[in-house]
Structure 1
Amino acid sequence: MAGRGLDVEGWIAREGALSRVPAAFTGVVDAARARVAKSFDGGRLHSAYLYGSIPRGTAILGVSDLDLLLALRTEPTEADRAAARRIEQVLDQSFPQIDGVGILLFSTRTLLSELERHDLGFFVACLCTPLLGADLADHLPRYRPTPLLARETNGDLSLALPGWRRQAADATTDHHRRALSRLVARRIVRTGFTLIMPRWGGWTSDLSESAEAFGPYYPERAGQMRRAAVVGRTPSPVPGVLHELIDDLGPWLAAEYVTVHGEKAVRP
């Protein structure tokens, strides 16, 4: 019997679908599809994907962001990144339903590489919803909630902490602090979940469910993880929130993760 994000055979089920996009966000998705197709024409684009709360059907009007991944036939160039930034700006300014747009760019070679099999490959196969082009998931394996998957998805949290500290020190506006708190909180909650994922025996990308799953395994940190899940959904400009995430919960989690699962394979 399927449950906890798994299909009836125990594989992690793909979590999103275009049919789950809430009606209030269909215009945003349609505009994103058209903009991407126009900006990356001429065979540059292999495929495009949605991910996050919108294709999961849990997006909140005026709060959720729009997340896209573009798979290019060759390595992304500066021109590609500039085109992606223009799409982000136009969509964010045109649709009050969303609060921000993020576009990831990767080559198909990277996404299908052996090194990324249990990180970006898993991301495409299980967490991304096809929007344009041929689905790369057809060339990827199926996945179970294993320690290997845990290590390769989030076994590098320690590398993010110094950059977050610098950004927090440089953040001078509420807008910047909110954006950073959302990014940091989401990463920490998802890392907390994958820390316990093999023991929990399933998959979820829902922040609240992730925090609740984490709690019984680390009750002394359960309250912090629940607070982080709230910040991931409704970002905070309060400097103390960033301090707790970056200087307390984050370092503890990074150290515990390496102890339990080991470090993620080094990327070039």
Structure 2
Amino acid sequence: MGHKGLDAQGYFEREGSLGRVPRTFAPVVAAARERIAEAYGRRLHSAYLYGSVPRGTARPGRSDLDLLLALHREPADDDRDTADVLGRGLDEDFPEIDGVGVLLYGKDRLLSEEERFDLGWFLACLSTPLLGEDLAEQLPRYRPDGVLARETNGGLAALLPAWRSRVREASSPEEHRKLSRSYARHLVRSGFTLVMPWWGGWTSDLVESAEVFGRYYPDRAAQMRAAAAVALEPVADPAVLRTYTEDLGPWLAREYTARHGVPGRGRSRTVAEASRPAGLGGSVMGPGPR
């Protein structure tokens, strides 16, 4: 395919591995494995790392630790409380990380048809096994097509009202900084998956994602590059947040819907149909913008 992230047949190669974890972060990963097992015991089916740590690109003192936990049943309030305690403890004990994020799901949901092209793809392609039996063995292989683009990041329009509310409620520089990082990441990743079927590849690198997006939307290229920079170096400027919620975000949401449709449609497609890559016959989309 000519792009990283795919194998010779055009399927996603799994991103990250325990072998890529930087030496600086090895102690926190080891601690996470031990504490997760202790905290959840038999409730836990499997645990995964995702993000910069298993990709080998984490920066000491600036990158967070991202965890995905699959339970044998749907998580209850006590499971979420346990995740909060787990995350705070790791964050406090290891200065190498700047925060801990814990995603918590029941294994049946992760394997469900409804989540096949969202959480299922995320686990199978972007998450690194840490504990337990790997659920990816029960999921299909994936290609960077229009169905995947729609189901992974096609819900931006529904998020924007809550984003605006949080911006209005934020009052401190630290709150603005955290929101700028979160929203910029989401916008850059959404911008990339918008054009992913036309580019025919995959990357999680935010700078590269912005550059790829800019090839198809040159009028928005500078704005997306700037968002990638904020995603890596967050800012405390409320004006930047308003740009995301009132300009770039709404435009991107409209363009996403126009190009890929509304999330939730087409989930009944067979895996073979949904996995057909754009541009190789029977594409679910037309050519990308120029």
Partner residue, 2:39: 39
- 1:151 is matched by which residue type in structure 2? R
Would the aligned equivalents of 2:60 and 2:97 in 1 still touch at CA under 8 Å?
A: yes
Specify the alignment match of 1:245 in structure 2.
244
State the aligned residue count. 266
- The CA deviation at 1:233 is 1.2
> Aligned residue for 1:68?
67
Aligned to 1:92: 91
- After superposition, the CA RMSD in angstroms is 1.2
Give the % identical residues: 59
The answer on whether the counterparts of 2:3 and 2:200 sit within 8 Å (CA) in structure 1 is no
CA contact (8 A) 1:2 1:8 kept: no
Superposed displacement of residue 176, structure 1: 1.1
Task: Indicate yes or no: 2:27 matched with 1:27.
Answer: yes
Superposed displacement of residue 90, structure 1? 0.7
- Shift in Å, 1:44: 0.2
Cα distance in 2 for partners of 1:160, 1:33 equals: 32
Unaligned 5+ runs, structure 2: 268-290
| Aligned equivalents of 2:55, 2:245: Cα separation in 1 | 28
Q: Distance between the aligned counterparts of 1:87 and 1:192, measured in 2? A: 33
The residue identity in structure 2 corresponding to 1:225 is M
Q: For the residues of structure 2 that align with 1:35 and 1:177, how far apart are their CA atoms?
A: 31
Native 8 Å contact 1:51 1:67 kept in 2: yes
**Partner Cα distance (2:153, 2:3) in 1:** 23
Q: Which residue of 2 aligns with 1:192?
A: 191
Deviation at 1:40, TM superposition (A): 0.2
Asked if structure 2 preserves the Cα contact closer than 8 Å seen for 1:69 and 1:103, the reply is yes
Counterpart in 2 of 1:126?
A: 125
Give the superposition deviation at 1:4: 2.3
For residues 125 and 18 of structure 2, the distance between their equivalents in structure 1, rounded to whole angstroms, comes to: 14
TM-score normalized by structure 2?
A: 0.90
Please give the residue correspondences for 1:244-263 in structure 2 after superposition, counting only pairs within 5 Å. Answer: 244-263=243-262
Contact 2:3–2:202 (CA under 8 A) maintained in structure 1: no
1:126-181 superposed Cα distances (whole Å, 9 cap, x missing partner): 00000000000000000001000000001100111111111111111111111111
Aligned equivalents of 1:137, 1:196: Cα separation in 2: 25
User: Shift of residue 3 of structure 1?
Assistant: 3.4
Question: What SS does structure 2 have at the residue aligned with 1:215?
Answer: helix
Q: Could you tell me which runs of 5 or more consecutive residues in structure 1 were left unpaired when the two chains were aligned.
A: none
Q: Separation in 1 of the partners of 2:10 and 2:2?
A: 7
Asked whether the equivalents of residues 50 and 128 of structure 1 are also in contact (C-alpha less than 8 Å), the reply is yes
Q: Which runs of 4+ in 1 moved over 4 A?
A: none
Please name the residue that 2:139 is paired with: 140
Task: Tell me whether 1:158 sits opposite 2:157 in the alignment.
Answer: yes
Q: Distance in 1 between matches of 2:100 and 2:173?
A: 18
2:12 pairs with 1:15: no
CA distance in 2, matches of 1:91, 1:168: 28
Cα pair 2:176 2:236 within 8 Å, conserved: yes
Q: How far, CA to CA, are the matches of 1:180 and 1:87 in structure 2?
A: 23
